């Protein structure tokens, strides 16, 4: 299986954050350097689903050069939240299918390693109907994912609130199984979502169980990225609300357990914590790195 990131090797943390590319990809690389990131997540278009900003050949070339200079080891796009691949409404569903293809093509153009999407919400009826719609939406882009330079497509683990699909690992397995286990479709974890869905990071046994459950449900080799967010709400609440690192219900103990697990620590980590400005991510990244260093020193 062709993987964009080798998660089997120990080493320095690969940790970054979600940054705007509205002022250009090279500008985002500069901000990544300022906040101490060696990974970057971006929206390939307005997060509300508007048109893509054009990226010229000159900007692309400059971005690829700056990315190398900045030491960005992993870049990932986040498909807009307005995209609902499980929608029963024809207009919303066709919009989702179109945006998915366009954004995957944009990822290939800028050399992103992956694109992550929320699986979707079935809104009405049965979850199985929503899963069938997700499969039908992704199937047409599978040939695109096999082309040279194309990204992985990652399905995000969700909190399970309302009619969301992805709050149970079995739902992600059903999607992958329905697609025939394609080699470049995988999973992106989210610490807040998994906590809300019932996995308690504060309990080392549950962290180990999560890794085992993922290996059994989808195969660990498909787990390619990790959104790192604290949670405003308790474990099992089914409520998705991110909090700054160490200031929520997961807390220092929960993230310490995450970092102690070699498989989880090896994943590229992307912060989506609440901030007033992008430079605030410097403190969040520093908090995570310092915790990792304390654990390595035996603290």
Question: What pLDDT score does 51 carry?
Answer: 84
Question: What pLDDT score does 8 carry?
Answer: 57
pLDDT band per the 50, 70, 90 thresholds, residue 297 = very high
Q: Is residue 125 part of a domain?
A: yes
Question: What pLDDT score does 1 carry?
Answer: 61
Domain with 102, as residue range(s), is 15-296
Q: Is residue 8 part of a domain?
A: no
pLDDT band per the 50, 70, 90 thresholds, residue 48 = confident
CB-based contacts of 57: which residues, under 8 Å, 6+ apart?
none
Structure tokens at 1: 């299986």
295 pLDDT above the threshold of 60? yes
pLDDT band per the 50, 70, 90 thresholds, residue 47 = confident
Q: What angle do CA 148, 154, 155 make, to 5 degrees?
A: 150
pTM for this prediction = 0.96
How many domains, the chain? Answer: 1
Q: Is residue 3 part of a domain?
A: no
Structure tokens at 212: 């085992």
68 pLDDT above the threshold of 90? yes
4 pLDDT above the threshold of 80? no
96: CATH? 3.20.20.150
Structure tokens at 190: 């989210």
Pairing state between β 120-121 and 164-165: antiparallel
Q: What angle do CA 153, 84, 181 make, to 5 degrees?
A: 35
Give the CA diameter of the chain: 55
**Count of C-beta atoms within a 10 Å radius of residue 49:** 16
Mean pLDDT of 231-252: 97
Mean pLDDT of 4-17: 76
Give the C-alpha separation, 95 to 286, whole Å. 39
Q: Is residue 10 part of a domain?
A: no
Mean pLDDT of 145-169: 97
Q: Is residue 2 part of a domain?
A: no
pLDDT band per the 50, 70, 90 thresholds, residue 15 = very high
Question: What pLDDT score does 226 carry?
Answer: 99
Share of the chain above pLDDT 70, in %: 96
pLDDT tens for each residue of 164-198: 999 999 999 999 999 999 999 999 999 999 999 99
- Which parts of the chain are beta strand (E)? 15-18, 39-42, 74-78, 114-117, 120-121, 152-156, 164-165, 185-190, 223-228, 230-231, 242-243, 269-271
pLDDT tens for each residue of 214-226: 999 999 999 999 9
10 pLDDT above the threshold of 80? no
pLDDT tens for each residue of 90-101: 999 999 999 999
Phi and psi (nearest 5°) for 3?
-115, 135
Mean pLDDT of 251-276: 98
pLDDT band per the 50, 70, 90 thresholds, residue 11 = confident
6 pLDDT above the threshold of 70? no
Q: Is residue 9 part of a domain?
A: no
pLDDT band per the 50, 70, 90 thresholds, residue 49 = confident
Q: Is residue 6 part of a domain?
A: no
* Mean of per-residue pLDDT scores for the chain: 96
HEC assignment per residue over 228-257:
ECEECCCCCCCCCCEECCCCCCCHHHHHHH
């Amino acid at each position: 299986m062709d993987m964009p990131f080798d998660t089997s090797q120990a080493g320095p943390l690969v940790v970054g954050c979600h940054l705007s590319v509205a002022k250009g990809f090279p500008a985002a690389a500069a901000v990544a350097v300022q906040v101490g990131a060696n990974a970057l997540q971006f929206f390939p278009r307005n997060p509300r689903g508007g048109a893509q900003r054009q990226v010229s050949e000159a900007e692309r070339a400059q971005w690829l050069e700056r990315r190398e200079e900045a030491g960005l080891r992993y870049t990932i796009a986040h498909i807009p939240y307005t995209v609902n691949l499980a929608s029963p409404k024809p207009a919303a569903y066709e919009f989702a299918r179109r945006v998915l293809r366009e954004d995957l093509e944009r990822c290939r153009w800028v050399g992103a390693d992956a694109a992550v999407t929320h699986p979707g919400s079935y809104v009405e009826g049965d979850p199985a109907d929503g899963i069938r719609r997700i499969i039908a939406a992704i199937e047409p882009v599978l040939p695109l994912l096999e082309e040279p330079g194309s990204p992985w497509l990652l399905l995000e683990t969700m909190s399970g609130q309302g009619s969301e699909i992805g709050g149970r690992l079995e739902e992600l397995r059903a999607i992958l199984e329905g697609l025939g286990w394609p080699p470049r479709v995988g999973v992106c974890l989210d610490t807040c979502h998994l906590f809300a869905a019932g996995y308690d990071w504060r309990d080392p046994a549950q962290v180990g169980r999560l890794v085992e459950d993922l290996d059994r449900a989808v195969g660990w080799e498909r787990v390619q990225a990790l959104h790192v967010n604290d949670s405003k709400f308790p474990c099992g609440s089914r409520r998705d609300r991110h909090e700054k690192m160490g200031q929520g219900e997961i807390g220092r103990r929960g993230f310490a357990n995450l970092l102690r697990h070699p498989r989880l620590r090896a994943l590229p980590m992307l912060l989506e914590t609440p901030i007033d400005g992008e430079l605030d991510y410097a403190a969040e990244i520093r908090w995570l790195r310092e915790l990792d260093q304390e654990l390595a020193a035996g603290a």
